Structure 1
Amino acid sequence: MSLEAYVTNLMKERNPRGFDAAFAGFLSLLEKLYLKGVRKRRARETANAVEAGIPVISVGNVTAGGAGKTPCILMIAELLLKEGKKPAIISRGYKSGLEKKGGVVSDGKSILVSQKEAGDEPYMMALRLPTVPVLVGKDRKVSAKKAVALGADVLLLDDGFQYWGLDRDRDIVLIDCMNPFGYFHALPRGLLREPLTALGRASLFLLTKSDKASDEEKLKIKRVLRHYGRTTPILETAHSPSKIVPYETWRKRIHEGELPAVSGKKAFLVSGIGNPASFAETASEAGLVRTGDMSFPDHHAYTDEDVRKAIKEAERTGADLIAVTEKDAVKLMNLERVRNSKMPFYVLEIEMTIKGHQEEILEEQWEELL
């Protein structure tokens, strides 16, 4: 077992014993040091925070790992576009070529850099939202100025709950119903990025993957949220498959492909995401019959050899097609084996939906700002 797997299992253990208890105690000491550093950084960055000059809406979470921020950003951007607004998305561009120096991925007219320079999620958002500027860089204050110069009238701050260098008007906080509070410990003893008291800063809570949780589980989550934000609105959301697009069509920024067209088809799944099991569930919801899967670590850089092995396995299992996530599709764009494959590749797109038709509560977050 790797150290990472051991620590992850230890996070889940409420009453460790023996060596596990000793190691958990060591991690608790590191947790205290981590939180001390977070407090200092927040105080320093908050004191020097700048205003963007236009409304800023942050989308983030309190735990490490994915909670559905990218689908949420896409949903909000599309709602703003329908209202005639001009949103821009600013992201750090984690592990991208432009993370340190910053840059414009899309100016709202065309994509200006490669996937490697942009980073996976920013490039994907630029593909999905061709009229929305997308900017990346560690210094999001600089990105904000560039976005305003491009004509944006509202900024969507991707993964911005722990970015305090830029003032924001709203903090939308996502809570993953599968692991809402990071085992109630901060890194590295748990997965919290901040103490749960940070939830008091939230303007709105969105429960993600709420369809995967029981009513009793959601009630427990809401009780914790109510403790820190007594009047903060809470909405339940779900991630569901929306389209399945032939790969070459998707590469041309054409998002056309109805789910019934592949219902019952046998699919081999390929993914390099944090939770491959969730992709398998989504594929099943889309009507695909899984013949097997090939999983890689999150942010995996695909090679032609990876694709060759995937095609070989798909053929061996009798698959009709290979299905990938949008995030993985971005990383496969420049590989010749994908373009020349006789085994068809499809991109399974997902969308975030608000349960109970309560979109107006979300829209209230920006109505008085714009």
Structure 2
Amino acid sequence: MRAPDFWQKDTLLARALTPLSWIWRAGAAWKIATSTAFHPGCKIICLGNFTVGGAGKTPSAQALQAILRNLGHTPHFLSRGYGGTLPGPHQVNLTTDTARDVGDEPLLLARHAPAWISRDRAAGARAIKAAGADVIIMDDGLQNPSVIKDLGIVVIDGATGFGNGRVMPAGPLRETIKSGFSKVRAAIIIGADQTGIRHHISPHVAVFGARICAQNPDDFKNTNVVAFAGIGRPEKFYQSLRDCDANIVATRDFADHHMYKPGDIKELQDLAHHHGAHLVTTEKDLVRLPFALQHDIKTLRIALEFDDLPGVTKMIETVLANGA
């Protein structure tokens, strides 16, 4: 979903909607009280966020997978499969599955390690353990009480932080900041901390800085492009292209997780032709395009890099050796 502008400010509207957030919080408390937590017998590292919208969980999950692989482990990803139709448990097949089947993020994760989708997270964890994984990386799920996590990590966008600090629908938070930090022992802040996030972080939580880095910047240097994206914050993608010295002649925003239709593609192609430009989008958007078009549209490839990679690695080693 696209976050409304007032979620970033403590406006009169935000305050007026606060009583409705109490209903949201009561529903979350009821879900916790009526759930039975399960642990599959292999370590579970859960990456999540406290806010609605993209914060950088998927590249963070990919970065953690690389650390685990280098440590000699066999991690699998577990996702709800948001936007897909298959309930799971189902292991993602890059040859036959589409974003309409499993969602866009699991397709990206499956390029790096086995990825599973399951609306029932406990059932998904059981299936992954049976398939031979010794570590499960949950892409989202901090607010899901059905699975016991060995390590909870919150991913935070340094540019937007926690918005106005209010819970939905008064603000972008899925739960209170205090409640969220009670579930994690580490935080990843992506980009510069522009909203004073560190002032909200509990003393027991380790903080790691990180940045999103373009992997193919030369593909766009001094190149005219029409950029389009259906992600939580398209402007982050556009700025990344500008940082690569791309000349953006037009942009088109779509809803987060938008499934592209032929009419969308035709409009974009006509726009690019009019400007004599290349179409470019995110890797997450590309997998939501028809297979036949995926080779004709450029993507900006990204990866997350930690400021303190040894520190992150040491934390993971400690958790795997001793538990949380």
Q: Secondary structure at the match of 1:188?
A: coil
Q: Secondary structure at the match of 1:365?
A: helix
Q: Does 1:28 align with 2:18?
A: yes
> Residue 202 of structure 1 aligns with which residue?
184
Moved over 3 A (4+): 9-13, 336-339
Q: Secondary structure at the match of 2:287?
A: helix
The 8 Å contact of residues 133 and 147 in structure 1, kept in 2 or not, is answered as no
- Give the Cα–Cα distance (whole angstroms) in 1 for the partners of residues 215 and 270 of structure 2: 28
Note closer, same or farther for the CA distance 1:136–1:176 as it changes in structure 2 (3 Å cut). same
TM-score, reference length from structure 1: 0.81
Q: What 5-or-longer segments of structure 1 have no aligned partner?
A: 244-258
Q: 1:346 aligns with which of 298, 309, 319?
A: 298
Note closer, same or farther for the CA distance 1:90–1:15 as it changes in structure 2 (3 Å cut). closer
Note closer, same or farther for the CA distance 1:315–1:299 as it changes in structure 2 (3 Å cut). same
Q: Does 1:11 align with 2:7?
A: yes
Q: 2:267 aligns with which of 309, 316, 327?
A: 309
What is the alpha-carbon root mean square deviation over aligned residues? 2.1
- Give the Cα–Cα distance (whole angstroms) in 1 for the partners of residues 164 and 11 of structure 2: 12
CA deviations 1:65-118 (Å, max 9, x no partner) are: 1110001001111121222211000000112111x3431114xxx655333111
Would you say how many aligned residue pairs link Structure 1 and Structure 2? 319
- Give the Cα–Cα distance (whole angstroms) in 2 for the partners of residues 15 and 59 of structure 1: 30
Task: Give the partner amino acid of 1:65.
Answer: G
Q: Does 1:184 align with 2:165?
A: yes
Q: 2:92 aligns with which of 102, 105, 111?
A: 105
Per-residue deviation, 1:11: 3.3
Which is greater in Rg? 1
The 8 Å contact of residues 80 and 86 in structure 1, kept in 2 or not, is answered as yes
Task: Give the partner amino acid of 2:151.
Answer: R
Q: 2:230 aligns with which of 268, 272, 287?
A: 272
- Give the Cα–Cα distance (whole angstroms) in 2 for the partners of residues 118 and 104 of structure 1: 9
CA deviations 1:111-153 (Å, max 9, x no partner) are: 5533311111101211x31xx2111111011111111122111
Q: 2:290 aligns with which of 333, 343, 355?
A: 333
> Residue 288 of structure 1 aligns with which residue?
246
- Give the Cα–Cα distance (whole angstroms) in 2 for the partners of residues 146 and 29 of structure 1: 40
> Residue 123 of structure 1 aligns with which residue?
107
- Give the Cα–Cα distance (whole angstroms) in 1 for the partners of residues 88 and 63 of structure 2: 28
Of Structure 1 and Structure 2, the greater helix share is in: 1
Q: Does 1:166 align with 2:147?
A: yes
- Give the Cα–Cα distance (whole angstroms) in 2 for the partners of residues 141 and 153 of structure 1: 16
The correspondence of residues 20-59 of structure 1 with structure 2, limited to 5 A, is 20=13, 24-25=15-16, 27-45=17-35, 48-59=36-47
Identity of aligned residues (%): 26
- Give the Cα–Cα distance (whole angstroms) in 1 for the partners of residues 60 and 209 of structure 2: 12
Task: Give the partner amino acid of 1:236.
Answer: G
Note closer, same or farther for the CA distance 1:338–1:65 as it changes in structure 2 (3 Å cut). closer
Per-residue deviation, 1:261: 4.2
Task: Give the partner amino acid of 1:63.
Answer: T
The 8 Å contact of residues 84 and 103 in structure 2, kept in 1 or not, is answered as yes
The correspondence of residues 223-234 of structure 1 with structure 2, limited to 5 A, is 223-225=199-201, 229-234=202-207
TM-score, reference length from structure 2: 0.91
